[in-house]
Chain A
Amino acid sequence: DTEVTQTPKHLVMGMTNKKSLKCEQHMGHRAMYWYKQKAKKPPELMFVYSYEKLSINESVPSRFSPECPNSSLLNLHLHALQPEDSALYLCASSQDFGTGYGYTFGSGTRLTVV
């Protein structure tokens, strides 16, 4: 298995909703990442987990809450989002945080906040 799987593929949520995005990989990668990508813009790093510990938080608002339950799973919990948070949310993984080997993106979750 050489893929990063993200669910759901599409999500529409209201500003008062609570939802979660899920990311899973079975490549034995020890680093996992969340990115946000607006249309026609490059991906922006949000969070990095290395060996299941949060290594980098790029000053992301607290309405985004990451969680790494185990080495294969990465969640992004969403609460009280704003319409400007609508974007493609990409998960990625790599062998470890330090080599870039095997850096792989998931297909993304397209989030719309209404």
Chain B
Amino acid sequence: AQSVAQPEDQVNVAEGNPLTVKCTYSVSGNPYLFWYVQYPNRGLQFLLKYITGDNLVKGSYGFEAEFNKSQTSFHLKKPSALVSDSALYFCAVRDARSQGNLIFGKGTKLSVKP
């Protein structure tokens, strides 16, 4: 079965420090991987995706993600965290069997303190 796991419920980072939000996946076939961000009382916003090509994917708001096939991981990173990055982050994998529906992780709450 295809699935995605976010092992950390919450990540705490000081402003200016690098941040990493972890995601691992399990798929049959090629993975199509996505990161979304949700600010309080808002819908999800697309950040970035990995389809093929370079393992380092750059996205919105200075975020990037590193695809690692051998570790089946797709960790979200940012070199220098901002307080405004505090939000809920979701990793998702495309389910190629069911017309491309997304399977979401449970989410990781990122808290950036000044």
A and B bound? no
**What is B's interface to A at a CB cutoff of 8 Å?**
none
